[in-house]
Amino acid sequence: MTGDLFDDACAPTPWVQVIGDDAVILRHFAIEWVGELLEGIANIEALSPFRRQQTPGGFWMSVSMSNCGSFGWISDRKGYRYAAVDPVTGNLWPAMPALFYQVAAAAAEQAGFKGFMPDACLINRYEIGTKMSLHQDKDEQDMSQPIVSVSLGLPAVFMFGGERRQDPVQRFPLLQGDVVVWGGRSRLNFHGVMPLKADLNEPNAQVGVRYNLTFRKAC
Ligand code: MD6
Ligand code: FE
């Protein structure tokens, strides 16, 4: 990451949208680094391919996942957890590229979480029609640390609820380059992603899928 964060006169202006207590969408925050982030994903995929995972209840998630960093989030009939070894390859997860780490730390700081040092990056790949059901992120050890989530490729509709599953849910579009940062009072809020729509007029349709990077301090 060289130069000023936003030194490209043609880049859209970043702005902050508050979506809850200690939860924001940093609009366009990562737009400058989309190409490099996508390259990073391709390199990671070559070492730890995307795969669908089974839930402890025996369902198959529709979203395909990989990871980079010291730990990866995995799910199977035995439960949800973080693991240093990719169960598909038997190797450690690919290293987290420096740019990934820098973008995540800078976004966290912008959102008021200084000193965020992610050790895990879960990479979700959404094909058209796939979704992420409402869930809480609660497999991390230190709930004082936020989660930073970077959207790439096709747009999606993000669902953001409250601490209880039955709490009302708000919906927000997430576009390529948007970064969600949340922690503090919202850290355990339910959230998910609506089924991904095909939109051939969408400028990012060339990517054909949506990727989401979620950075965590897992251990
Ligand atoms: C997604 N995101 O945007 C799924 N979790 O594809 C998440 O599950 C998520 O965006 C915690 C914090 C931010 C997120
Ligand atoms: Fe989540």
Q: Which residue is listed with tokens 């940062």?
A: 181
Atom in ligand 1 nearest the alpha carbon of residue 124 = 6
15-216 is classed CATH 2.60.120.590: yes
Is the CB of 214 inside a 6 Å radius of any atom of ligand 1? yes
The band of 95, judged by pLDDT with boundaries at 50, 70 and 90, is: very high
Per-residue pLDDT, 4: 53
pLDDT (mean) for 36-65: 98
Least confident of 54-58, 63-67, 98-102, 202-206: 202-206
Neighbours of 163 (CB within 10 A): 12
Res 187 pLDDT > 50 = yes
What phi, psi does 211 have (nearest 5°)? -110, 145
Ligand nearest to the CA of 194: 1
The neighbouring-strand residues paired with 210 are 126, 153
Are 30 and 107 in contact by the 8 Å Cβ rule? The answer is yes
CA distance 156 to 124: 12
CA distance 114 to 31: 21
Amino acid residing at 2: T
CA distance 54 to 74: 9
The band of 2, judged by pLDDT with boundaries at 50, 70 and 90, is: very low
Q: What count of residues does the chain have? A: 219
Least confident of 2-16, 42-56, 148-162, 177-191: 2-16
What phi, psi does 156 have (nearest 5°)? -140, 165
Q: Give the mutation target among 19, 24, 121, 147 for probing the ligand 1 site: most ligand atoms within 8 A of CB.
A: 147
pLDDT (mean) for 6-28: 86
Is the CB of 182 inside a 6 Å radius of any atom of ligand 1? yes
Bridge-based pairing of strands 132-135 and 147-153 is unpaired
Tell me the per-residue pLDDT of 117-153, one tens digit each, with 9 for 90 and over.
999 999 999 999 999 999 999 999 999 999 999 999 9
**Alpha helix stretches (DSSP H) within 65-177:** 98-110
CA distance 162 to 46: 37
Domain boundaries, the chain: 15-216
CB-count exposure of residue 129 (10 Å: 0-12, 13-18, 19+): exposed
DSSP-derived secondary structure letter, 209 = S
Atom in ligand 1 nearest the alpha carbon of residue 135 = 8
Is the CB of 130 inside a 6 Å radius of any atom of ligand 1? no
Q: Which of 122, 92, 79 is nearest to 216 (CA)?
A: 122
